Amino acid sequence: MKKRQFYGIKSTCSAKNKFMDISSRKKMLRSEIEKSFKLFSISISEKYEKSKQLCLRGEHLLPQSGVCAFYAAIDFEPDLSLLAEKALQLRLKILFPRICCKSMHFCTVSNLQQLKPGTFGILAPETPIHHQKIDVFFVPGLAFDASGGRLGRGGGYYDRFLSIFPQAFKVGVCFEQAILPKIPVDRHDITMDAILTESRIIFCSDTKNPSSSDV
């Protein structure tokens, strides 16, 4: 089977970076990916269609009851609005992140109209912070690999927050082009239990799928 490539980025283990430390390799990879976005950006209509397909597939990962954490998409990230709306229809509690004082908190949202422009212009809720159990996290990223490795934007917000909820089922969300052969990770990085794209769901751990649906 031919390996899928992220907008022309073939490998993360080239001779140029294999002797670099993990932090430097991540920084270089982020730079390569950002350059690729500028060269291979998708249209608004294509992003909508791919996001729609991804959300339909993502319904298989929604729990029968409980709490799901989403994100408000920016730039190239898949838009999960349709999946969040589906979760509300299923009477699940949904959360969205809010960044305050260099920390990320998740807040309860009863409808998506409660999201307003916040830090960095990202839509965020102004509702009360949720401190209890979270069952499923849908996590954005620049790129992922099939082992659950994630490349974030470098702020460490998600790694710090996810470490508080080790029992949550963590789903990395990206378009298919953002699946790389290998993401450099260190001991502080939180890996995903599954990766959701518009084409498939990749299960990366033995953690049980929170949904009773067959995938």
Determine if residue 152 is labeled as part of a ligand binding site: yes
Q: Distance (Å, rounded) from C-alpha 17 to C-alpha 10?
A: 13
On whether 154 is known to bind a ligand per the annotation, the reply is yes
Q: How big, in percent rounded to 5, are the helix, strand and coil portions of the chain?
A: 30, 20, 50
Known binder of ligand: residue 158? Answer: yes
**Residue 6, CA distances (Å) to 142, 143, 198 in order:** 10, 8, 14
- Tell me if 39 is assigned to a ligand binding site: no
CB 175 within 8 A of CB 152: no
Does the annotation place 77 within a ligand binding site?
yes
Tokens of 165: 């909820």
Q: Which two tokens stand for residue 138?
A: 């849908």
98 is in an annotated binding site: no
52 is in an annotated binding site: no
Q: Which two tokens stand for residue 180?
A: 């790389």
Q: How far from 186 is each of 99, 128, 183, 190, CA to CA, in Å?
A: 24, 33, 10, 9
Q: Is 148 annotated as a binding residue?
A: no
State yes or no: 83 annotated in a binding site.
Answer: no
Is 29 within any annotated ligand binding site? Answer: yes
For Cα atoms 158, 203, 89, give the angle at the middle one, nearest 5 degrees: 70
DSSP 6: B
- 58 labelled binding-site residue: no
Annotated binding-site ranges for ATP: 26-30, 150-158
Annotated binding-site ranges: 26-30, 77, 150-158
Annotated binding-site ranges for substrate: 77
